[in-house]
Amino acid sequence: MTIAAAGALGFSDILDELDLGSHPAKAMSASDVRWLAEDTSGAIAFSSFYSQPACKLIDTAGDNTQGSTFSATMSFGTAFTGRELAIVIFAYNESGDFVTATCTVGGAAVSLTQASESGASGAFAAIGLLNTTATSGAVAISFSNQVARIYVAIVQMVNFSTTVDSFSLNGQASSGSTSITAGSNGLVLHALTRKYDAADDVELTGTELMDSVQYSNMLMSLAFFNRQSAGSKACAWSGGAASQRYAWVGRSWT
C-alpha cells in the first residue's frame, strides 16, 4: 500500500513499495526510486517518499454522451527504465446489452482483458497494458454496442510483469463486505459503481481511491491495493442503500 504519510521510514520500505521484496542493492538515484519520489534530479530527501503509491494515476478522459466510439489524446507521463502503463476503461450500456471493445494507442492495437454484464446492470470494464516509450498518444476505442458514461484512465507502475492473469466483474446490490482473492504481489482493484440516487456516496473501503467521476446516476471510481502475499483481501461497500455496485478485479502484475 501507499507509503505512510509520516513516521519512521527506511530504504526497505521504499523497496517494498516498489515490489522489490528481496531488497536488492539499489541507488537512491535509480529511475524507479526517483519515479516513486516524484523527484527527477539532484539529491532525494526521504520526506519525498511519504504518501507515495506504487500505482499512480497519470491521466483520465471521459464522455457522458452515448455512442460506439471514443477518442482522446492522453498523457503517459515521463518515460523511464522499468516503466509500465495500463489503460483502464469503464462504460455503461443503458439497454443492458453485452459489450466488447477494441482499442488502439498511437495507432497500435492494445490487447484488452475485458468483462461485460448484460441485463439490468449494463456494466463494462477492460484493462490493457501499453508497450510504449512515448509520453503521450492518441487513444481510440470502438465498442460493439452503444455505450454511455465512458471513463478512461492511464495508470503508471514500475517493476511489475506484463501480464493480466486474473479478472472478474461482480455485482453487489447492498452495503456489506466482499472478499477478493489475491495472488502474490501487485493486485490492482478497479471499482465501478452504478448509483440510483445521486446523493449516495458509495465507496469500496479497504482500497486506495485514485479517482472518481460522476455522470448522472453513475459513479465510476478507480481504486487499487497491492499485496506481497497471496490470500483474500477483505473490502466493504459503504454508503448508499439502493445502488448496484460492481467491483472489477484485475490482478495484473506479479
Contact by Cβ (8 Å): 96, 118 = yes
Same domain, 226 and 129: yes
* pLDDT for 220: 77
Same domain, 64 and 89: yes
Same domain, 90 and 24: no
Same domain, 168 and 132: yes
Q: Is residue 218 part of a domain?
A: yes
> Regarding beta strands 244-251 and 187-194, do their DSSP bridges make them parallel or antiparallel, or are they unpaired?
antiparallel
Same domain, 26 and 141: no
Comparing CA positions, the residue from 166, 199, 209, 171 lying closest to residue 185 is: 166
Same domain, 34 and 137: no
* pLDDT for 143: 95
Count up the domains in the chain and report the number. 2
CA distance 178 to 32: 33
Q: Is residue 34 part of a domain?
A: yes
pTM > 0.75 = yes
* pLDDT for 154: 92
CA distance 174 to 52: 32
* pLDDT for 180: 62
What's the grid cell of residue 189?
A: 482493484
* pLDDT for 161: 57
Tell me which residue range forms the domain holding 16.
11-49
Same domain, 43 and 75: no
* pLDDT for 73: 97
Same domain, 152 and 218: yes
Query: DSSP assignment, residue 48?
Result: G
C-alpha 161 chain-centroid distance: 16
Same domain, 172 and 97: yes
Q: How many other CB atoms are there within 10 angstroms of residue 75's CB atom?
A: 15
Q: Is residue 4 part of a domain?
A: no
Q: Is residue 90 part of a domain?
A: yes
**Rounded (to 5) percent helix, strand, coil in the chain:** 5, 50, 45
CA distance 71 to 58: 17
pLDDT one digit per residue (tens) for the chain, 254 residues: 678 888 888 888 888 777 776 777 888 888 888 888 888 788 888 888 888 887 788 999 988 878 999 999 999 988 777 777 889 888 888 777 888 999 999 999 998 888 787 766 677 888 888 888 899 999 999 999 998 888 899 988 776 655 555 555 555 555 566 666 555 555 555 666 666 555 556 666 767 777 777 776 677 778 776 655 555 666 666 665 545 666 655 544 44
Q: Is residue 206 part of a domain?
A: yes
> What 3-state class would DSSP assign to 40?
coil
Q: Is residue 161 part of a domain?
A: yes
Contact by Cβ (8 Å): 202, 243 = yes
Q: Is residue 2 part of a domain?
A: no
Same domain, 33 and 61: no
Query: DSSP assignment, residue 61?
Result: E
Terminal-residue alpha carbon distance, the chain: 15
Same domain, 126 and 29: no
Same domain, 27 and 126: no
> What 3-state class would DSSP assign to 132?
coil
Q: Is residue 83 part of a domain?
A: yes
